[in-house]
Amino acid sequence: MIAVVVLVIIFLTEVTSNTATAAAFLPLLGALSLSLDISPLLVTVPAAIAASCAFMMPVATPPNAIVFATGHMKIQSMIRAGFALNLISTVLVTLMAYFLLITLW
């Protein structure tokens, strides 16, 4: 479940604001985890971290837009590199949630 949440949040932040995505999803994920009798921290912390992992599109974050605006990067190369970074981020955030957060609680 954590991997799916992280993957959805990461790819959603490519086309929406990080803050808006977190503000919309974190309360829903907290309520969902309580209804499933799971600690809300095990779901909301990875989701909050995943909202900061937007690497693929120029509209995702201001630094991406600045890099694209220089003219040295094409969208195709940003998508290619960003997609790989998104997958790596999904794996790392999910593993962090499973191993670090579970051992702390």
- Global confidence as pTM: 0.86
Extract the residue ranges of the chain whose pLDDT is less than 70.
105
pLDDT of residue 102: 73
pLDDT of residue 105: 67
pLDDT of residue 76: 94
State the number of CA atoms in the 13 A half-sphere of 52 facing the CB: 5
pLDDT of residue 47: 96
Distance (Å, whole) CA 55 – CA 80: 10
Distance (Å, whole) CA 43 – CA 39: 7
Distances (CA, A) of 58 to 25, 65, 100: 22, 4, 32
pLDDT of residue 61: 86
Counting the structural domains of the chain, the total is 1
Distance, C-alpha 97 to centroid of its chain: 13
pLDDT of residue 39: 87
**Which structural domain, as residue segments, surrounds residue 53?**
2-104
Can you tell me whether residue 88 is helix, strand or coil? helix
